Amino acid sequence: MEIIRTPLEMTAWANRVLATGQTIALVPTMGFFHEGHLRLMRKATENADHAVVSLFVNPIQFGANEDLGRYPRNFSRDCQLAQAEGVDVLFAPEVEDMYPAEAATRVIVSGLTDGLCGESRPGHFNGVTTVVAKLFHIVKPHCAVFGRKDFQQLAVIERMVADLNWDVKIVRHPIVRETDGLAMSSRNTYLSASERHAALCLFRAIGHARRRVRAGLVEATVLHREVEELLRREAVIIEYVSFVDQSTLRPQAVLQKSTVLAMAIKVGTTRLIDNDILFEEH
Active-site positions read 37
What pairs with residue 241 in β-bridges? 263
Q: State the Cα–Cα distance between residues 52 and 89, nearest whole angstrom.
A: 5
Q: State the Cα–Cα distance between residues 128 and 105, nearest whole angstrom.
A: 13
Q: State the Cα–Cα distance between residues 175 and 150, nearest whole angstrom.
A: 9
Within 119-216, strands assigned E span 143-147, 169-173
Q: Return the H-helix or E-strand segment holding 119.
A: helix 117-120
Q: Tell me which amino acid residue 152 is.
A: Q
Query: Residues 138, 74, 276, CA angle at the centre, nearest 5°?
Result: 75
β-pairing verdict for 259-267 and 237-245: antiparallel
Q: State the Cα–Cα distance between residues 246 and 275, nearest whole angstrom.
A: 10
| Of the candidates 221, 149, 220, the residue with the CA atom closest to the CA atom of residue 185 | 149
**How does DSSP classify residue 271?**
E
Q: Residue 127 CB: number of other CB atoms within 10 A?
A: 18
- The string of DSSP codes covering 93-112 is --HHHHS-TT--------ST
Q: How many CA atoms lie within 13 A of 132 on its CB side?
A: 30
